[in-house]
Amino acid sequence: MEIKDKIIIAMGDMKKAVFTTKEIEDSVIKDFPDTNRNSILPADYCYNHENRGSSIHKFFLQIDHGKYEFVGEEYIFTGDTHKTVNIPIIQSRDSNIPEGITKENIFTAAQAYDDNSIQHEFKHSTTYDVIINGHRYPPKAIIGIASSYHLGKPLTPHHFSGGIQTKCFRVLKENSFKIVLKNDDIIYPDEVPKNVIHVEGKVVEVTVNSYERDDKARDACIDHYGLKCQVCNFDFEKQYGELGAGFIHVHHLVQLSEIKEEYIIDPIKDLRPVCPNCHAMLHKRKKIPYSINELKEKIKKTMK
């Protein structure tokens, strides 16, 4: 397949959108990984750029140094062949993301991603994840799906960029979602937030506080149940000595995503001490985590 064909496929239906050279290269390489980046020369395919040979297919307008508007192969060019057309930038890739994406849109997008209720073209992320309800999601997929609640259909991976300092990440951060590298430690959705002294409220508050612990609620739970895992009875101090003394995770029995208004935490009723392994397994089921008893039963079955 020729480079021109790869570029056209990579641009998709993005007519009137403006791309930098790097964005065009990234889009082509994403769809065609074996392509040599140095062979992708957008200027060669510009109506208003000096091209050698009339047989070269054209589908860009060069609007600035290193910026190209994709106009398609059927575009009727009436400008000066050797001068940049003086037209405004209609939109950049990031501007395809609609304004007004809310936290609720993002939560709903995560649900749609889990149950495949909305068709989309996004794949797993390669470098970053966004944490939603304690679970990892590809940031571009979430924003692409969340955009559908404003546009009527999801954006495609070619409609916008992902990564640090992009609008995609900015929208997630402005809605108080945490973005982490893929190799970061696991994050659980039920860590009690600091500075809310026994009060857990809206998901916004939990997210802003990055799933940190409220020591008072944690201590009250541990004072009652002790430091052994309530699922498997693992004792860190017994196993690791002084190094493990006082270490345990605290699991919230109520999904924070289900809490719609502020309420008072009961550390004995709502929290349980569990080891990190069991904590991860409790949340292996995304929509509704396994209960303590369900996980105990699974362990019993494996012991038989």
Neighbour count for residue 25 (Cβ, 10 Å): 20
Q: In this structure, what DSSP letter does residue 46 have?
A: B
Residue 214 near residue 252 (C-beta atoms within 8 A): no
Q: Is the dihedral of CA 58, 122, 204, 259 positive or negative?
A: positive
Q: Would you tell me the crossing angle of helices 103-115 and 139-146 to the nearest 10 degrees?
A: 110
pLDDT in tens, 258-302: 554 555 678 888 889 999 899 889 988 876 889 999 999 999 988
Distance (Å, whole) CA 76 – CA 61: 11
Band (208; pLDDT cuts 50, 70, 90): very low
Q: Give the residue-averaged pLDDT of 229-257.
A: 85
| Stretch (H or E) spanning 176 | none
pLDDT exceeds cutoff 70 at 157: yes
Is the model's pTM score more than 0.95?
A: no
Distance (Å, whole) CA 269 – CA 261: 18
Strands 199-200 and 263-264, how do they pair? antiparallel
Strands 249-252 and 271-274, how do they pair? antiparallel
- Domain ranges for the chain, please list them: 3-91, 96-181, 199-303
Q: Would you tell me the crossing angle of helices 3-11 and 21-31 to the nearest 10 degrees?
A: 100
The structure tokens listed for 98 are 């609609």
Residue 89 has a pLDDT of 36
